[in-house]
């Protein structure tokens, strides 16, 4: 492989990886959705508990 071929292959790979990251962000796997929901619920419970403690 010459230098230009390497540059081209690297550019192609970077473009592909960015497309895949965006696709995963728009359509995350079910386990990621479940973890994000759990995180949101945990943070909400922590806020509720913190406000009850300071009252």
Return the DSSP state at 27. Answer: S
Q: In the prediction, which pLDDT does 55 show?
A: 63
Give this prediction's pTM.
0.58
Report the half-sphere exposure of 18 (CA within 13 A, side-chain side).
Answer: 6
User: How many CB atoms sit inside 10 A of residue 29's CB?
Assistant: 9
- For the record, the structure tokens of 46 come out as 């922590």
Q: C-alpha distances in angstroms, 25 versus 2, 19, 36?
A: 35, 10, 12
Phi and psi of 27, rounded to 5°? Answer: -135, 75
The 10s digit of each residue's pLDDT in 5-50 is: 999 999 999 999 999 999 999 999 999 999 999 999 999 999 888 8
pLDDT in the model for residue 1: 83
């Amino acid at each position: 492989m010459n230098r230009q071929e390497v540059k081209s292959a690297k550019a192609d790979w970077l473009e592909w990886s960015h497309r895949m990251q965006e696709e995963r962000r728009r359509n995350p796997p079910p386990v990621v959705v479940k973890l994000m929901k759990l995180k949101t619920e945990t943070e909400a419970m922590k806020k509720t508990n913190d406000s009850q403690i300071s009252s």
